């Protein structure tokens, strides 16, 4: 069953990777063009919860990496996903992996949402949307939903310079080796559906073979 799921590899778009400009923000979640297996992680800079710059390629050069893109600590589905990975983190760490959780939240908000000390996930801020754009998973939230979200949570969302529209990442999970090569990816435009943590463990084990 897991192998059958792996063949799905999460990509809901079957299209050529040539001539795609993934840095463009998509009109909606169904139109994103994410990086695929066999492609390289882009050279992007994120921020730690303390506001320090973090080069993604330098970080993943240290050890094989599981990368999770999530919408933010305000999203209950994201919190449930991160909680699920807490159950398998020891398996991943035992295989030599590190786990990075990337969201467009500010470093200050990440500090407010710090995980329990027993949780080894490294949180990173993509408030400038550099990684979201270069991984090809960014999209503009529709105006009605954006108005509803802002009415509940205020101005906690990331936008492009000069553009007030909310940009969110489609929730995604990647497994990459120390060279930056993508070994596995799961991207689903339905934010309520997330990759099974045990599937990620299986994919992580296969990536080391």
57: three-class secondary structure by DSSP = helix
The fraction of the chain above a pLDDT of 90, given in percent, is 79
Distances (CA, A) of 58 to 7, 91, 151: 30, 23, 39
pLDDT at position 83 over 80: yes
Q: Give me the mean pLDDT over the 1-7 stretch.
A: 44
Domains in the chain: boundaries: 2-13+22-207
Q: What's residue 116's pLDDT?
A: 53
Contact 35, 182 (CB under 8 A): yes
Q: Structure pTM? A: 0.88
Rg, C-alpha atoms of the chain:
16
* Alpha-carbon gap, residue 23 to 193, rounded angstroms: 24
Beta bridge partners of 145: none
Q: How far apart are CA 34 and CA 52, in angstroms?
A: 27
pLDDT recorded at residue 22: 74
Q: Residue 136, by phi and psi: left (phi above 0), alpha (psi -120 to 50) or beta? A: left
Instruction: State residue 15's pLDDT score.
Output: 40
pLDDT greater than 50 at residue 108: yes
CA distance 208 to 205: 5
How far apart are the C-alpha atoms of 156 and 170, rounded to whole Å?
Answer: 17
Kindly tell me the burial class for residue 152, based on how many C-beta atoms sit within 10 Å of its own C-beta (0-12, 13-18, 19 or more).
exposed
Q: What CA–CA distance (Å, rounded) separates 135 from 1? A: 28
Q: Is the dihedral of CA 203, 177, 41, 140 positive or negative?
A: positive
Distance, in Å, from the CA atom of 184 to the CA atom of 204, rounded to the nearest integer, reads: 8
Q: Which numeric CATH code is attached to 2-13+22-207?
A: 3.40.30.10
Distance between CA 11 and CA 19 in Å, rounded? Answer: 18
pLDDT digits (tens, 9 = 90+) for 109-150: 998 876 554 678 999 999 999 999 999 999 999 999 999 999
pLDDT for res 80: 93
Q: How many Å separate Cα 70 from the centre of its chain?
A: 5
Q: Can you tell me the distance from the alpha carbon of 13 to that of 6, in angstroms, rounded to the nearest whole number?
A: 15
Digit-coded pLDDT (tens) for 195-204? 999 999 999 9
φ/ψ of residue 183, rounded to 5: -100, -25
Please count the residues of the chain.
209
């Amino acid at each position: 069953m897991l192998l059958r799921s792996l063949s799905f590899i999460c990509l809901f778009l079957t299209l050529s990777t040539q001539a795609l400009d993934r840095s463009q923000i998509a009109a909606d979640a169904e139109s994103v063009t994410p990086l695929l297996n066999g492609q390289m992680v882009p050279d992007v800079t994120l921020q730690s919860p303390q506001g320090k710059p973090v080069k993604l390629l330098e970080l993943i050069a240290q050890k094989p990496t599981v990368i999770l893109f999530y919408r933010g600590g305000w999203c209950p589905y994201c919190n449930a996903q991160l909680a699920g990975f807490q159950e398998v983190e020891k398996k991943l760490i035992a295989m030599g992996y590190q786990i990075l959780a990337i969201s467009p939240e500010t470093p200050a908000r990440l500090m407010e949402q710090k995980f329990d000390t027993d949780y080894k996930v490294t949180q990173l801020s993509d408030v400038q949307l550099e990684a979201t754009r270069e991984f090809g998973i960014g999209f503009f939230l529709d105006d009605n939903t954006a108005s509803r979200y802002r009415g509940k949570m205020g101005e906690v969302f990331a936008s492009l310079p000069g553009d007030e529209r909310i940009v969110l990442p489609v929730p995604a999970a990647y497994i990459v080796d120390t060279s930056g090569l993508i070994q596995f990816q799961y991207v689903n435009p339905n934010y309520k559906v997330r990759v099974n943590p045990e599937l990620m463990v299986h994919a992580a084990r296969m990536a080391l073979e």
